[in-house]
Structure 1
């Protein structure tokens, strides 16, 4: 039986898969080839220390998942900007992941250009996605 945390991260990955033509990997290593439309890799991130209420007992998390964005090629700046906009649009369309979270929001990316010997450089960034949710068990 999947935990609340796993259910939420799976739902986030599924939400991101609504972006057309962009593969979304979950916890994978960077493949040798980056598709022309870009690539997203969702990392579990850090659930942080929960705040606790006692009646009823609930653990309130502000889980910081990490979304790696990688683009490569001639138009990488435009592709990167488009991809960031698409990520924002799918999150804005469902800020609760279908009721699984109280709220989700993305933080601004910090892009970097990464030179690749013998190939076009990569433009990459990590977007932190903050997932606000509550569970009755800190391990759930």
Structure 2
């Protein structure tokens, strides 16, 4: 039985997989970027929780990252469309079906990456904070 943390990450990955771009989880950047763009979910770190007593609860602000990559001549427009679709997917259900207290994306930090013999890549890491509560940090 998966932990709540893994269930939350799986639910976020499912949201990303429903977008027109290709979505991966924890993979390396492939040699070719699909025309519709590429998203890679990085599991990140749950960090140190705030702890409340009676009942004992661990309140996490788990920082994950979504690596968004596009390639081609119209990469600025494609990148904007891709990041907007991520925002819309998160805003559609900020609790991931009740698994989280809140899911919040931050602004992308984009870079242009030249590729020898091919069109440049436009990529960004999009920080996402998952707010959730566990009764046990290992479950």
CA drift of 1:102 comes to 0.2
Aligned to 2:109: 110
Q: Which runs of 5+ in 1 are unaligned?
A: none
Map of 1:10 onto structure 2: 10
5+ unaligned residues in a row in structure 2: which ranges? none
Count of residues in correspondence between the two structures: 139
RMSD: 0.7
Cα distance in 2 for residues equivalent to 1:58 and 1:37: 41
Q: TM-score, normalised by structure 2?
A: 0.98
Alpha-carbon distance, 1:29 to partner: 0.7
- Deviating above 6 A after TM superposition, structure 1's stretches of 4 or more consecutive aligned residues are none
Question: What is the deviation of 1:8?
Answer: 0.3
Using structure 1 for the length normalisation, give the TM-score.
0.97
1:1-140 matches, cutoff 5 A:
1-20=1-20, 22-140=21-139
Structure 1: distance between partners of 2:41 and 2:61: 17
C-alpha displacement of 1:139:
1.8
- SS at the partner of 1:111? strand
